Amino acid sequence: MSLNLLDLAKSSLVPILVSKAGSLFGLEGGVASKALDAILPTLLSGILNKSSTAQGTAGLLSAITDKGVDANILHNLPNLLASESGVHSLGEQGGKILGSLFGDKANGLGEQLGHLTGAPAQATSGIKGLTALVAPALFGMLKNYVVGNNLNANGLSNLLANQIPHLEKTLPAQIASWLGWGSIGGFFGNLASKFGGALGDATSGTLGAVGGATVAGGKSAGGLLKWLLPLLILGAIALWALRSCGTATPAVKAPVAPPTVTPPVVSAPAAPAPFDANAAMGDAKSKYLTALAALEASGKCDGAALSNALGLYVVNFASGSAALPTADIIELKKAVPAMQLCAKAGVKLSVVGHTDNVGNPASNLKLSEARAKALKAMFAKEGIPTDLMTASGKGDTEPVGDNTTEEGRFKNRRISYGAN
């Protein structure tokens, strides 16, 4: 039995990505799940296609083992997806990987996958974003296995060749055609032939059938490799899973006799306790509206109460963006009457942006300041005098929550206000 990269990716990546697809891209769980069913075999097939020549395999091995690829991605992914800078970094890396795998087709791939899943037009950009996040996750998963098992180019070719029967059943025919790969049977038959030549040299003609095509010079399922290769791979799976969770493991030794083996089940790394950001934002909005109602009922300026009310509202900025979402502008405008009362009293309002500590501190500082300035500009358009407002950013320097938890980072990504 060979390591099934597709099944491993589904069990390890899909639950995490589906849970984040709504908050990151506005994708419903069903749409995200259906999209991933097409994204995973498409990207893995692109990786196989890239490695179908000796030069391609060497380049792929270099890219996978690059220092920028996170070998512990399955363990770190939940935390990365919980921060704007983490999502931005993954998306940027994913764009480069997609370009290397699919060339000029990379830009249109998300749209094609969206059409394939029957997702509404507005979901296309979300599916593009999801595709970009999957790419570095797959590379990190491969790096963990390649480095953990000290695979060279021939070893990587061997691993990828054994993915053909799994991907042949799952790669969407429409995507293969759009990418210019032709029919499913023709594409994978051609890959099997190419891998067969390379693997015949690497294994001295002992590898058997791959994806329904017989490798040149290979024997049938008999012989030493029939039992030895599956056992070696099974041992490597256990090593990979333990290392993904940060647990030290002893070296895995090949058995000296062919015992009966039941394949282990490779589970996804344990995710941190779930935190519902959408529920938290809904609760914050309710408290904000209640506080505003109390201010309006008083009919007078209360600078401290005003700054507290504004600070309760959570602005749902897009990752890495300082653009105010329309829905948030509508809600924040509800505070303008109370702000006007305080403006008449000469009360000055400070608007301060904050971030969590994930990512580059300088970039976080710049982003926090840009968001504060965006809010100041919006309030100015509503008639609040600019000389009665200041806007600044603090980046990650004034946390109010624990940056080691998703909930703590959520609390730290905020806008605070002051009045004097």
Q: Give the pLDDT confidence score for residue 211 in this predicted structure.
A: 34
Q: Give the pLDDT confidence score for residue 373 in this predicted structure.
A: 96
Distances (CA, A) of 271 to 17, 19, 74, 78: 12, 11, 10, 7
Q: Give the pLDDT confidence score for residue 348 in this predicted structure.
A: 94
Distance between first and last Cα of the chain: 70
Q: Give the pLDDT confidence score for residue 288 in this predicted structure.
A: 92
203 or 255, greater pLDDT: 255
Q: Lowest mean pLDDT: which of 196-200, 330-334, 370-374, 387-391? A: 196-200
Share of the chain above pLDDT 90, in %: 39
Sequence-distant (≥ 6) Cβ neighbours of residue 290 within 8 angstroms: none
- The token pair at 244 is 């993904």
Share of the chain above pLDDT 70, in %: 80
Across 168-180, average pLDDT:
92
Digit-coded pLDDT (tens) for 54-80? 888 999 999 999 988 999 998 889 888
Digit-coded pLDDT (tens) for 314-323? 998 877 788 9
Sequence-distant (≥ 6) Cβ neighbours of residue 411 within 8 angstroms: 400, 401
Q: Give the pLDDT confidence score for residue 234 in this predicted structure.
A: 46
Q: Give 124's pLDDT tier (boundaries 50, 70, 90).
A: confident
Rounded CA separation 314/86 (Å): 20
- Return the ∠ at Cα 99 (arms to 210 and 146), rounded to 5°: 45
pLDDT at 244 over 80: no
What is the residue-averaged pLDDT of the chain?
81
Q: Lowest mean pLDDT: which of 7-11, 98-102, 209-213, 345-349? A: 209-213
Q: Give 43's pLDDT tier (boundaries 50, 70, 90).
A: very high
- Return the ∠ at Cα 36 (arms to 33 and 42), rounded to 5°: 160
**CATH code for the part of the protein at 277-419:** 3.30.1330.60
Strands 209-210 and 213-214: antiparallel
Q: Give 26's pLDDT tier (boundaries 50, 70, 90).
A: confident
This prediction has a pTM of 0.50
Domain range list for the chain:
5-244, 277-419
Sequence-distant (≥ 6) Cβ neighbours of residue 362 within 8 angstroms: 395
Q: What is the CA radius of gyration of the chain?
A: 26
**131 contacts 170 by C-beta, under 8 angstroms:** no
- Maximum separation of any 2 CA atoms in the chain, in Å: 90
Sequence-distant (≥ 6) Cβ neighbours of residue 269 within 8 angstroms: 12, 74, 75, 244, 245
Rounded CA separation 327/248 (Å): 48
Digit-coded pLDDT (tens) for 193-243? 888 654 443 333 333 333 333 333 333 333 433 444 444 444 544 444 444
Rounded CA separation 338/157 (Å): 67
Which residues lie across from 390 on neighbouring strands?
350
